[in-house]
Chain A
Amino acid sequence: MPVFNFFHWSEKHGRTLNETGALVSVEIGVPAPLKQYLSEKGLSIPAPVSGFALVDTGAFATAVDESVFTSLGVSHIDEVPTDTPHGSGTSKVYPANINFPGMNVTDMAMERVIGCKLKWKTRDDKEILMLLGRDLLQYFLFVYNGPSSDVTLCY
């Protein structure tokens, strides 16, 4: 099982893990069946959107900022109930193709990603596009090392 370490440090801010949470680089792209359809029709395939995923052990499902799907031209395929301390609501569900370039994990097909508004930038300018939830974490070994400001992920 390959092991990947992500040291959370920047020249300007020093150790950043405590402030930002565990981040891994991510690329979110058009799902494979849609890619094939666009290719067969001679239509252009939108480039994957790059940013960072925040590892969120508190999240049942992986969530992605909805603007990503808008720029990829991917329509939602379901609407599901969500339950929060603030009340009940509904969220859209999208299919996506996920790459983790830092771990050589490519073309991970996810048919049920929650769309939401979560995009924001950390102090060291990392744009977070995704919450990496337990539906994906079940395939990873994850170590959070606070004192050394790094995280380890094995896939």
Chain B
Amino acid sequence: MSSASGAKMALDKELALFSRIKSELLKNHEGKFVLIRGEELIGTYDSVENAYTEGVKRFGCEPFLIKKISEQEEVYRNQALALGLMHARF
């Protein structure tokens, strides 16, 4: 697989699996990071760094999901982007 196409691949399967097992993961792994590839849960890790290192070791450039196990997912707010200020001209 070319790495360029890898960047475009969706993580639909992985996100669907996470959604299905989230409540189970929350019982014992809240605050940790889960590594999922396809429909397989690879493991949970204390840090995103450790999860990423393990993911690359196993799957190289192939896509995989690393998701923080938390009740409420953090919502990202970037106001300059949101408001289009990057392209504002005065």
Are A75 and B81 neighbours in the complex by a CB distance under 8 Å? no
Given A41-B60, A83-B75, A114-B76: A77 and B52 interface contact (C-beta under 8 Å): yes
Which of A's residues lie within 8 Å of B, judged by CB?
Answer: 19, 31, 33-34, 36-38, 41, 46, 54, 56, 58-61, 63, 66, 69-86, 91, 95, 109, 111-112, 114, 116, 118, 120, 128, 131, 133
Q: Identify whether the interface residues of A are mostly helix, strand, loop, or mixed.
A: mixed
Distance between Cα atoms of A71 and B11 in the complex (Å):
20
B48 adjacent to chain A (CB < 8 Å): yes
Q: A34 vs B7: C-alpha distance in the bound complex, in angstroms?
A: 14
Which residues of the partner chain B approach A76 to less than 8 Å between Cβ atoms? Answer: 7, 11, 63
Residues on the B chain within 8 Å of A74, using CB: 3, 6-7
Whether, in the assembled complex, B27 has its beta carbon less than 8 Å from a beta carbon of chain A, the answer is no
Give a binary string over B31-52; 1 marks a CB under 8 Å from any A CB, 0 the rest.
Answer: 0000000000000000011001
> Contact: A133 with B78, CB < 8 Å?
yes
Q: Which chain B positions have C-beta within 8 A of A78?
A: 11, 65-67
Contact B3 A131 (CB under 8 A): no
Are B82 and A75 in touch, CB under 8 angstroms? no
B contact set with A: CB distance below 8 Å: 2-4, 6-9, 11, 15, 48-49, 52-53, 55-57, 60-67, 73-83, 86-87, 90
Inside 8 A of A60's CB, which chain B residues have their CB?
Answer: 76-78
CB neighbours of B74 from chain A (8 A): 80
Known: A75-B7, A85-B83. A56 touches B78 (CB 8 A): yes
Distance A135 CA – B56 CA, assembled complex (angstroms): 24
CB distance from A114 to the nearest CB of B (A): 6
Residue of A nearest to B74 (CB): A80
Sampled A-B contacts (28; CB under 8 Å):
A33-B52, A33-B53, A34-B60, A37-B56, A46-B3, A54-B80, A58-B79, A60-B77, A60-B78, A70-B7, A73-B6, A74-B7, A75-B3, A75-B62, A76-B63, A77-B65, A78-B11, A82-B76, A82-B77, A84-B81, A85-B83, A91-B76, A111-B49, A116-B78, A118-B81, A120-B86, A128-B86, A131-B80
